Every structure is written in C-alpha cells, then in structure tokens.
C-alpha cells in the first residue's frame, strides 16, 4: 500500500509538471521535494517520467516498511498484539 501511495504521488507530480510546462515555482518545488523524494535525484541526473514514478514508489515502500516495523515493535511492547 505504501508503494502504491508513492506511485500515486509521483503520477500526480508528473501530471502537474506536464500541464504547467517549464514554469518554475519555488513553492511547488518545495512541496514536490517533500512529497516526492525522487525529485532530488532528478536535479543530478535526468529521470524519465516512468523511472521517477517507480523510484518514488520504492522510496515510499521503504518508508512504509520502516514505519510498519516501528509500529510492530510499539504494539509488542504495549502488549497489543
């Protein structure tokens, strides 16, 4: 589910990027960096839209994996599971 959320966020940013064109907005860039960490790699190396979406899904998947591990530890310590 986390990976699908990352893929959805990346697809949203790809659509916004295509519709708005090359216009640069600092506020939009700041929000994109926070919600789509793969955009930071796009500054160093050019990324195709599909690789950007897949890389962002991988980032969200790793983030979700870590969050689920922490939540599982918390539940086990509290005796909730």
What are the b/e assignments for 21-50, b being 16+ CB within 10 Å? eeeeeeeeeeebeeebbbbeebeeeebeee
| pLDDT score recorded for residue 66 | 93
Mean pLDDT per segment of 10 residues, for the chain of length 81 residues? Answer: 86 84 78 81 73 84 92 84 58
What pLDDT, on a 0 to 100 scale, did the predictor assign at position 69?
93
Which pLDDT belongs to residue 68?
Answer: 92
């Amino acid at each position: 589910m986390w990976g699908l959320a990352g893929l959805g966020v990346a697809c949203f940013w790809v659509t916004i990027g295509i519709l708005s064109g090359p216009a640069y907005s600092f506020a939009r860039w700041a929000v994109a960096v926070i919600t789509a960490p793969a955009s930071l790699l796009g500054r160093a190396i050019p990324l195709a839209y599909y690789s950007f979406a897949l890389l962002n899904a991988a980032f969200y998947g790793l983030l979700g994996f870590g969050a689920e591990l922490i939540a599982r530890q918390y539940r086990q310590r509290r005796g909730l599971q």
